[in-house]
C-alpha cells in the first residue's frame, strides 16, 4: 500500500494535516467525501477532490461472492466470557473473525476478562470454548500465570496444560509490539490459535509518541497495526480481544466524560466496543457501545477469585 505522500499534490505538510485529522491511509481518503476532508483539514476543495480521485484509483477491489462469504462466516466460533449476561450482551460470547475492544478505568476488569478468555477458549465446544490456543501480548507486564491457574482449576482444566497453550509476548515498546504482530503468521498457523489478547493495545503508543508533533505518526502506525489484527481475525478464524485505557474528555461538562484513547483510528477499528465500569465490590458494568448488529445496552457481571461470572 502506498503512503499519503505518493498522491500527487500531497507534500509533507499536507500529509501531516490529513493524518492529524484522522485521514491516515489511502483507504480512508478514498472512502471519504472531498467536502468533509476540506472542512476538517482546511485544505482547498479542489485539492481534496483531486486526492480522493487518486486514492480511489489506488484501491484494489477484492470481490467475493455472497456464497463464499456465507461459507466463511459459517466457521465463526464463540468463546464464553464466563458470564451469561455478558455473553448475551455480545450476542452469545466473543466471536472469531471479529475484533473486540474493552476499555475502562483501572480495576474495571479489562485484564481479568483477557485472562478468563485465555482459559475459556481452551474448553471444548460444548462448554463454550474452541479447543484452541492463545497468543497473549502483555504490554503492561500484568499477565499473571497464577491467576490463570486459579481460573483453570475452577473450569476443571489442567492448569499446566492451559498455561502451555498460552504464548506470551512482552514487547518493550510500540516498535517491538508492531513487529511482534507482523510476525505472528507462523504461530497462528502452527499452534491452532483461536484467540489473540493484547493488554493493552495503546499504552506503548501513548508513551512513545508524546506531543502534538508526533500525533499523526502515531495514528498512522496504530492504523497499520490494527489492520494486521483484523486481517488475522479473518484469515485464521481467530477472535481478537484488546484492551484500551481511557482519558477524560474536557469537552463534556455533564455526565460520564470517560473516552477511550486512540481517536478516530481506534473508533472504527473494533467490530465490538465495550465500556467497563467498576461498581460495588465484585460488581462490574459492561456497556456495548459500538456494534454492527446489536443494541447499545448495559449488563452487570462479577469478578471473583474464581474469575468472571454472573
Ligand atoms: N484473585 C482475585 N480474586 C478476586 N478478585 C480479583 C482477583 N484478581 C483480580 N480481581 C479483581 O479484579 C480487579 C482488577 O481488574 P483488572 O486487573 O482486570 O483491571 P484493569 O481494567 O485491567 O485495570 P488496569 O487499567 O489497571 O490494567 C481487582 O481490583 C479485583 O477487584
Ligand atoms: Mg489491566
Domain ranges of the chain: 4-58, 76-309
Q: Which residues contact 125 (CB under 8 A, 6 or more apart)?
A: 77, 131
**Tens of pLDDT along 239-248?**
999 999 998 8
**Which residue, judged by its Cα, is nearest atom 30 of ligand 1?**
107
At 220 the pLDDT is 87
At 266 the pLDDT is 86
Q: Which CATH class is domain 76-309?
A: alpha beta
At 212 the pLDDT is 73
Please state the φ and ψ torsions of residue 129, each to the nearest 5 degrees.
-115, -170
Residue 289 has a CB neighbour count (10 Å cut-off) of 15
**Tens of pLDDT along 114-156?**
999 999 999 999 999 999 999 999 999 999 999 999 999 999 9
Full-model pTM: 0.86
Band (267; pLDDT cuts 50, 70, 90): confident
Region 246-271 average pLDDT: 82
Round to the nearest angstrom and report the end-to-end CA distance of the chain: 45
Band (62; pLDDT cuts 50, 70, 90): confident
**Which residue, judged by its Cα, is nearest atom 25 of ligand 1?**
106
Report the DSSP beta bridge partners of residue 307: 304
At 259 the pLDDT is 86
Q: What distances in angstroms separate CA 302 from CA 84, 144, 227, 309, one per listed residue?
A: 11, 19, 32, 5
Region 206-213 average pLDDT: 84
Pocket test for ligand 1, best of 83, 102, 106, 112 (most atoms within 8 A of CB): 112
Q: Is the pLDDT of residue 1 over 60?
A: no
**Which residue, judged by its Cα, is nearest atom 29 of ligand 1?**
107
Contact 121, 194 (CB under 8 A): yes
Band (18; pLDDT cuts 50, 70, 90): very high
**Which residue, judged by its Cα, is nearest atom 1 of ligand 1?**
305
Q: Is the pLDDT of residue 238 over 60?
A: yes
Ligand with minimal distance to 112 CA: 1
At 187 the pLDDT is 93
Which atom of ligand 1 lies at the shortest distance from residue 109's CA?
18
**Which residue, judged by its Cα, is nearest atom 18 of ligand 1?**
109
Ligand 2 centre to CA of 200 (Å) is 7
Ligand 2 centre to CA of 153 (Å) is 22
User: What CATH homologous superfamily does 4-58 map to?
Assistant: 5' to 3' exonuclease, C-terminal subdomain (1.10.150.20)
Q: Is the pLDDT of residue 233 over 90?
A: yes
Region 189-204 average pLDDT: 96
**Which residue, judged by its Cα, is nearest atom 3 of ligand 1?**
305
At 283 the pLDDT is 97
Q: Provide residues with CB under 6 Å of ligand 1.
A: 104, 106-112, 142, 147, 150, 303-305
Contact 265, 22 (CB under 8 A): yes
* SS3 category, 179: helix
Band (291; pLDDT cuts 50, 70, 90): confident
Ion ligand 2 — residues with CB < 5 Å = 110-111, 142
Residue 201 and residue 285: Cα distance in Å, rounded?
A: 21
Amino acid at each position: 500500500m502506498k503512503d499519503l505522500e505518493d498522491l500527487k499534490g500531497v507534500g509533507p505538510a499536507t500529509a501531516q494535516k490529513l493524518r492529524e485529522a484522522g485521514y491516515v491511509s489511502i483507504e480512508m481518503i478514498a472512502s471519504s467525501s472531498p467536502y468533509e476532508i476540506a472542512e476538517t483539514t482546511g485544505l482547498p476543495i479542489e485539492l481534496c477532490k483531486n486526492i480522493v480521485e487518486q486514492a480511489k484509483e489506488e484501491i484494489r477491489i477484492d470481490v467475493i461472492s455472497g456464497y463464499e462469504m456465507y461459507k466463511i462466516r459459517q466457521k465463526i466460533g464463540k468463546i464464553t466470557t464466563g458470564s451469561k449476561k455478558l455473553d448475551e450482551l455480545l450476542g452469545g460470547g466473543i466471536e472469531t473473525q471479529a475484533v473486540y475492544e474493552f476499555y475502562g478505568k483501572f480495576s474495571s476488569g479489562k485484564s481479568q476478562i483477557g485472562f478468563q478468555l485465555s482459559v475459556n477458549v481452551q474448553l471444548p465446544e460444548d462448554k463454550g470454548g474452541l479447543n484452541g490456543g492463545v497468543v497473549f501480548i502483555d504490554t503492561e507486564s500484568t499477565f499473571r500465570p497464577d491467576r490463570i491457574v486459579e481460573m483453570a482449576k475452577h473450569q476443571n482444566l489442567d492448569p499446566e496444560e492451559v498455561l502451555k497453550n498460552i504464548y506470551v509476548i512482552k514487547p518493550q515498546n510500540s516498535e517491538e509490539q508492531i513487529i511482534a504482530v507482523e510476525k505472528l503468521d507462523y504461530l497462528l498457523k502452527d499452534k491452532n490459535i483461536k484467540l489473540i489478547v493484547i493488554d493493552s493495545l495503546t499504552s506503548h503508543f501513548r508513551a512513545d509518541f508524546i506531543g502534538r508533533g508526533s500525533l499523526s505518526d502515531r495514528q498512522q502506525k496504530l492504523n497499520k497495526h490494527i489492520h494486521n489484527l483484523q486481517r488475522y481475525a479473518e484469515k485464521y478464524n481467530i477472535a481478537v480481544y484488546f484492551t484500551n485505557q481511557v482519558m477524560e474528555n474536557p469537552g463534556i461538562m455533564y455526565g460520564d466524560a470517560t473516552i477511550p484513547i486512540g481517536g478516530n483510528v481506534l473508533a472504527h477499528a473494533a467490530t465490538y466496543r465495550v465500556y467497563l465500569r467498576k461498581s460495588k465490590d465484585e460488581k462490574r458494568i459492561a456497556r456495548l457501545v459500538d456494534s454492527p448488529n446489536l443494541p447499545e445496552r448495559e449488563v452487570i457481571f462479577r469478578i471473583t477469585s474464581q474469575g468472571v461470572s454472573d
